[in-house]
Chain A
Amino acid sequence: MKYLISLIILITSLFLLPQVSAAKKPLINLAQNTRTTQTIIGSEKTNLTECKFTRSDQVGNENLPFASHRLLSYFWEASQKTGIPVGVLGGIARIESTTDQYSISNYSNQDIEYIEQSDIPETVLTANNATSEIAKIKNLKIPSSNKAVCPVSSNNALGIMQIQPPGTNGHDAKAVNQGASLLEGDKNATNLTLKDYCNPRTSIIMSAGFILNKQGTTKWTPGWTNNKDFITRVARSYYGGLIYGGQDQYSYGDDLWNSVLSCRDPIFDISPITQTQQSSSPYCKAPDFSEYTQKYGFNSTNGKDYSYPNPTVEKYKQDFINAKEKAIKHAPKFGVDPVLAVWWVFYETGNPNSYNWSNCADTVKGNVDYNCPSTDSGKWQLGYGQQFATYRSDPNDPKKGLLAAFSDIYGDVNNKVKTKEVGQDVLNSAGQTRTFPDKSIQELVNEWVQYDDPDARYWMSVLMRDPDISMYLLSSALAGYDSQNPILKDRAAGWSSYYKSSWQATSNLMNDVIIAWNSTPCVAGTPVTAPSVNPIGKIYKSKRVCVRVGNPLFPSPCDTEIPSEGQPPAEPGKPGAKPVAPTVEESELREKIILEFGIRMDGFSAQYLKWAWEKFWDIKNTRFNELVRGAGIVATTPANTQQVGCRGGTSVLLGQFGDENTWKQVLIHELGHVVRNCNPQNRIQWIEHERALTQEGGVSDYGNKAKSCTGSDNGSEDYAEMIAYYLNPGNAVSTVTCFPPQFPNMKQDFPLHYNIAREVLGDY
């Protein structure tokens, strides 16, 4: 009988134990959920050169940026592969590779190239040979410096990221394996060479996998970036402790956290210049005119030619003082000379008062664009002379755009009361009797961007005539005009014959701006009042401003109406702009493309990198870059050109071939596949495009007969063709050999396609 009872107990246990065990599972899920619901605050800075990385024991130099853009591009690449922020990776490198002899922060591009080209043996490191092999290279220095070619610790940790190879204390084969798996080829802890450990790029990429392994994961969760405890945990697991230094002890975790914070998106750090700062502004005295002739190419003044409002006459004095105040307040935020900003106001607007100027007449609510060929383009200036298109946000520069301007100047973009107050002030100051709606600036921008609501556009344009907002936006648009390549004079001459022919007159204007600047009080902080000279309280219709679209198939009305009366400078993303790629080394141009556009291009010659930079710059103001950011393009033979993946690895294989126009067309076509295949369907209007293809056919032969040409499907190819032709209008080329060159007029003949492209990418 006792056997019977024992049997019963045994059977009972067998049935019940699994249930008890299963009942525990939700506890695990709960813990996981808790971990992944932390707040995510912002992303990292687009411009990684602004990040400063901390090592606290370097007194006086605790926080330093990396001098090498090449090195930054490797951190960025590792970040793309794993999701680990550059702040974490760079922060670890800064601590790990700083000694009393050198700091990784001070390595230049040339230093990094020297390391990469050095003869570090490609010997596989094993537990048996590691010590002897490392001894061969541990004292190598970059010529004329104390910088190590391959940083080696007393414990034989190797490379910038100080990874322990086999045979050294602390070697973690599993973590090294995970890091090695991110490298090209079948790399693992048993076949990594000395060179792999010492090469900056492979060291950084390996460390990313190493970090993830230590956290028991394969992908970084964004919320961790904002969690100091977690960052400290990363520090502890990487270093094996938290305290470094000798008698003076420093916290690895605190240093790493500071680096992460430094690399955080600056949109959270923008703060208005204080009154105190303004009153002691170094901009209260203008430089000598001779500096402007040298820097921007202004002619010497002849004192005769003049066709602009003269800032030295009493009539414009108050306008000048107001514009000066706003320029001193906002232009330095974008590295722009305030004097140049005020010169622009007088040169461009014909009425140097922000409240009441628009070159699209303001007669009927919601109908401001009746004489503007395109409302959301470079053809509409207002306020102090910025283009309406400056309202756009820029994913690469969070300081740009109307929302950033409002946030910087007036605070919360969702504040309806403040928005109305600012807008109503503009209307009142311009002598208009309308009532500004009870909407926040955020709502208005959403209504225009998402629903093309012309009323919202009009109220946005009103807000953009607020002097502070207007000067902020104008300054953002003038950023980079101090470039010497080309200088402003040559740049302006390229805009149109008007700018060329008026250069003497505008040089005289600049001279007078400087005279007025130094003879008026520097009253930064004084509230701006509407000028008493506002004659009839209406919006001036100033000289007509035109932009040639650079495409003979789509003549702009401006081209025939007043062809020489003036063009504003083309900004990036404006058709007709002819950017010139920076004249830098091939490797540096590759890094610039990574840093500025977030696209990695491997194996391309300088010519193709130059074309790529120019095209990406040309379309920078569209949302294209946002949709393909993180893509990797690898050079291949022309016949092997294709899209092979999305972000993080190789996205596109692209040949180096042919003429510039064809290559740019194919470049955008292939990235057009990335747009379609690597973004959510509703974001890229997949179904809408299928409707357009059904109703209009493909925009090119390739989109109609893809199967017969490359074996592809019409939906894929027509989408890529739509993107390519939208961003290369009038490009009479063909993407593939199967069909002759074509130049579809999308706007006219394929309006559904055109509208989809415009909706997805924004105006071009």
Chain B
Amino acid sequence: MLNEFILKAPKRILILITVLIVVFLALVFLAFKKPAEETLPVKSFNPLEKTQVGKTRESDIEVQFSPAKKFIATRSGEMVFELESISPLRPDEIRAKEGLVIFERIRLPENPSQIGYSTISSFKVQFGQPEKTIKGSKFYGPLFETLIYSSKGVTIIGNPFTDEIFEVQRYTPTSIEDYINRYGEDIEEGVTVKEAPPE
């Protein structure tokens, strides 16, 4: 029956139908196609993020955020801006190179009702499993973990026992090794704190 229809139909109509089907399929494909992996950092994760890595200009930092301190990193030559954070011991930090922001670090609040508070599990829902997890933080303590998503340009440091995120770092996507070399100064893997008491 179908063959008979095809044989009898004029060639032009068949071509038209074929074109329509192809267009329809192309539309379906585009509608359901997953977006391609971005090469820039993924979009903002936390509302407390102040800059957009790779876009915010270095010249805007001082104007907009009044950094408490500004110096040049000796190793990388990057310009480092320290900003007041909710922690008196751990300032927020922005780094810039060649006129653009390349790194931002923010301390998240401790109260679940405050804007910006976040948990490791909710982060994983959005970003999936980390590319590397390292136990041991110089600043927070030896039991806490650094979860690195270097290809997405984001790293978090958190408490695996309470699920809380202490801080978020955003940077230009790179390799794990490069992240650790450039920004991983807080990582202190395998350290045990033996508190030998007086004998």
Contact = CB atoms under 8 A, between A and B. Distances in A.
Contacts, number: 125
- Tell me if A's interface is mostly helix, strand, loop or mixed: helix
A669 interface: yes
B162 A736 contact: no
Interface string A633-675: 0000011111111110000000101100011001001100000
A680 B162 contact: yes
Contacts of B2: 2, 5
A669 B195 contact: yes
A736 B196 contact: yes
B110 A681 contact: yes
Nearest to B163: A680
B138 interface: yes
Contact of A15 (B32, B138, B191): B32
B128 to A, nearest CB: 16
Nearest to A690: B89
- Which of B18, B111, B164, B195 gathers most chain A CB within 10 Å? B195
Interface stretch (A34-42, A395-403, A519-527, A709-717): A709-717
A676 B140 CA distance: 11
B141 A716 contact: yes
B197 A666 contact: yes
A687 interface: yes
B143 A677 contact: yes
B110 to A, nearest CB: 3
Interface string A731-743: 0011111000100
A120 interface: no
A409 interface: no
A647 B160 CA distance: 12
A687 B164 contact: no
A550 B159 CA distance: 38
A692 B145 CA distance: 25
A702 to B, nearest CB: 8
A680 B110 contact: yes
A121 to B, nearest CB: 38
Interface in A692-736: 693-694, 710-713, 715-716, 733-736
A267 B170 CA distance: 49
Contacts of A737: 196-199
Nearest to A691: B88
Contacts of B197: 638, 641, 655, 657-658, 662-663, 666, 734-737
B195 A646 contact: no
B110 A711 contact: no
Interface string A9-48: 0011001101100000000000000000000000000000
B75 interface: no
B138 A639 contact: no
Given A2-B2, A682-B112, A641 B89 contact: no
Contacts of A15: 25, 28-29, 32
- Which of A11, A640, A647, A682 gathers most chain B CB within 10 Å? A682
Contact of B140 (A647, A658, A713): A713
Contact count band on A: 35 or more
A18 B32 CA distance: 9
B142 interface: yes
Contacts of B194: 639-642, 710
Contact of B25 (A8, A638, A690): A8
Nearest to A706: B193
A745 interface: no
B161 A678 contact: yes
A686 interface: yes
A4 interface: yes
A644 B28 CA distance: 54
A4 B192 contact: no
A364 interface: no
A694 B141 contact: no
A663 B88 CA distance: 33
B21 interface: yes
Interface string B167-199: 000000000000000000000000111111111
Contacts of A663: 197
A735 B198 CA distance: 7
A23 to B, nearest CB: 11
B110 A687 contact: yes
Given A8-B25, A680-B164, A735 B195 contact: yes
A536 interface: no
Interface in B73-128: 86-90, 110-112
Given A677-B159, A690-B89, A666 B141 contact: no
A679 interface: yes
A64 to B, nearest CB: 37
B31 to A, nearest CB: 9
A22 B102 CA distance: 37
Given A669-B195, A680-B110, A19 B32 contact: yes
A681 B21 contact: no
B193 A712 contact: yes
A703 to B, nearest CB: 12
Given A15-B25, A643-B143, A713-B138, A694 B88 contact: yes
B45 interface: no
B48 interface: no
Given A1-B6, A678-B162, A711-B191, A638 B196 contact: yes
Contacts of B21: 8
Given A658-B197, A690-B90, A736-B196, 15 more contacts: A8-B25, A12-B25, A15-B28, A641-B196, A677-B143, A677-B144, A677-B161, A694-B88, A712-B141, A713-B139, A715-B89, A715-B139, A736-B197, A737-B196, A737-B198
15 contacts: A8-B21, A15-B28, A638-B199, A639-B196, A641-B196, A657-B197, A677-B159, A678-B161, A681-B164, A690-B87, A711-B193, A713-B141, A734-B198, A736-B196, A737-B197
The 9 closest A-B pairs by CB, nearest first: A681-B110, A712-B193, A694-B88, A646-B161, A716-B141, A639-B196, A682-B111, A682-B110, A1-B6
Interface of B: 2-3, 6, 14, 18, 21, 25, 28-29, 32, 86-90, 110-112, 138-144, 159, 161-162, 164, 191-199
